[in-house]
Amino acid sequence: MSEQLPRWDRRSRERWRRAPPWWPQGQEWPPRGADQWREQWRRGGQRAVRWGCAIALAIAVIILSALAGVVWLILSALGVIGSAPLARIPSGIAVLLGVIAVIIAVQVLRRLGEPATSLVAAAQRIEAGDYSARVPVRGPRQLRSLARAFNEMSSRLEAEEARRQTVIADVAHELRTPLTVIRGQTEAIIDGIYTYSPERLTPILAATDTLEALIEDLRTLAQAETGVLRLHREPTDLGLLVNGTLDAFRGTAAEQGVTLTASIADPSPVVDGDPVRLGSVLRNLVTNALRHTPRGGSIVAAVEGSADGAVQLTVTDSGEGIAPELLSRVFDRFVKDRSSPGSGLGLAIVRDIVEAHGGSVVARNNPAGGATLEVTLPAAVADAG
């Protein structure tokens, strides 16, 4: 007797027996073993269904048995089901313990849920831009650790946001002065108030130079902050660098009546650094010292090695020193004295470049007057050959 199959099954089997259009001509279809593979796949699916049904049935039996046991204990404790008086006592105790367990579980879940809810609410506030959001540190150890990390993160975000707003305000303030000069001088020349002459264009050129210097400083700071400040390292003689920098400033120092002196150790220390960037550090330090040294004062740039193999570069002036309220923040951006004509970015650039070289920089006031800025750099490693 031929196998009786449903019409849809016969059609699917007929389609299976016909080779698809993409099958190579002359090749056997269906491939050898395809029927066996299809049959094994079908049997495996049936076996999985049977195992799934058995597991689901077992879970249902366990749940129903537990519910039945609980109901029986409650009814036995209440005396609804006939049982010996002594049997009611264990049933009542079991029901009481079950109620206590449920209450404890609810309390534990609530204790876990409240900190989690606070974290979610605080995260939503931060997402909306409110970086002052904090969460209470409570709950299990893991949740307390998470809450402390969250509060630290939100504190840093709040500080960075305040810093960003301050930087924007300071940049706008620094840009306003040269732009005002350029606009005022240009409008006066156009309106005929000033006649066109090189003297009238000099303030415009000076303001343009100020803008270029400010933009270059901001670019350097942005590169240092994002970690893309490129250093072209090579063995650099700090003695030569100091002498060359001081020679470039001797004309300006002579006009201000300030003496420049170099004190270089013998032999001159060599560091593995970028001579262009280190030259920028020296120029910033000397420029800052000249701004705060009165006529008749002196500036000393010294280079010497230390016992631990590092190289120390110091620039000491005989000026009024650094204001105590600014001493701890002197290397921050836009931090400067009210009388300072600079942008407040020079020492911030010094710190970023020095740290990019693996060094450090500190500022201190001298007991005899004036200030000293000390840069510490790692010495160049001598070749093994």
DSSP class of 379? B
Of the ranges 52-61, 67-76, 131-140, the best mean pLDDT one: 131-140
What's the pTM value of the predicted model, to 2 decimals? Answer: 0.57
Asked if residue 331 lies in contact with residue 362, where contact means CB atoms within 8 angstroms, the answer is no
The stretch 53-66 carries a mean pLDDT of 75
pLDDT for residue 37: 54
Asked if the bond preceding 267 is cis, omega within 30° of 0, the reply is yes
* Res. 254: pLDDT tops 90: yes
* Res. 51: pLDDT tops 80: no
pLDDT for residue 5: 47
Q: Which of residues 328 and 309 earns the better pLDDT score?
A: 328
> Cβ of 146: how many Cβ atoms within 10 Å?
17
In CATH terms, the fold of domain 234-378 is Heat Shock Protein 90 (3.30.565)
pLDDT for residue 383: 43
pLDDT for residue 57: 80
Asked if residue 143 lies in contact with residue 112, where contact means CB atoms within 8 angstroms, the answer is yes
* Res. 1: pLDDT tops 50: no
Count of helix runs (H) and strand runs (E) in the chain: 9, 7
What's the rounded Cα separation, in Å, for the pair 215 and 85? 93
What backbone phi and psi angles, to 5 degrees, belong to 372? -125, 130
Calculate the CA 306 to chain-centre distance. 34
Q: Which of residues 162 and 84 earns the better pLDDT score?
A: 162
What's the rounded Cα separation, in Å, for the pair 89 and 78? 10
pLDDT for residue 342: 65
Asked if residue 253 lies in contact with residue 299, where contact means CB atoms within 8 angstroms, the answer is yes
pLDDT for residue 31: 59
pLDDT for residue 195: 82
Token reading at 127: 């997402």
Percent share of the chain, pLDDT over 90 = 21
What's the rounded Cα separation, in Å, for the pair 171 and 280? 21
Q: Which of residues 190 and 223 earns the better pLDDT score?
A: 190
Asked if residue 234 lies in contact with residue 275, where contact means CB atoms within 8 angstroms, the answer is yes
What's the rounded Cα separation, in Å, for the pair 48 and 61? 20
Asked if residue 276 lies in contact with residue 267, where contact means CB atoms within 8 angstroms, the answer is no
Of 36-40, 227-231, 357-361, the one with minimum mean pLDDT is 36-40
CA Rg, the chain, in Å? 41
Of the ranges 128-137, 184-193, 236-245, 319-328, the best mean pLDDT one: 236-245
Looking up tokens 């000491």, which residue turns up?
316
* Res. 87: pLDDT tops 70: no
> Cβ of 242: how many Cβ atoms within 10 Å?
23
Q: Which regions of 160-309 does DSSP assign to beta strands (E)?
A: 234-237, 259-264, 270-273, 298-305
* Res. 166: pLDDT tops 50: yes
What's the rounded Cα separation, in Å, for the pair 56 and 143? 35
pLDDT for residue 21: 65
Of 37-46, 286-295, 338-347, the one with minimum mean pLDDT is 37-46
pLDDT for residue 2: 45
Residue 299's pLDDT band (boundaries 50, 70, 90)?
very high
pLDDT for residue 368: 85
The pLDDT mean for the chain works out to 79
* Domain layout of the chain by residue ranges: 234-378
pLDDT tens sequence across 337-371: 766 666 677 888 889 899 989 999 999 999 888 99
pLDDT for residue 363: 93
* Res. 7: pLDDT tops 60: no
Q: Cα angle at 312 between 268 and 293, to 5 degrees?
A: 105
Dihedral of alpha carbons 328, 160, 333, 166, sign = negative
Token reading at 44: 């495996």
pLDDT for residue 8: 47
pLDDT for residue 297: 93
Q: Which of residues 50 and 148 earns the better pLDDT score?
A: 148
Asked if residue 314 lies in contact with residue 190, where contact means CB atoms within 8 angstroms, the answer is no
Cα atoms in the 13 Å half-sphere on the side-chain side of 238: 32
pLDDT for residue 19: 65
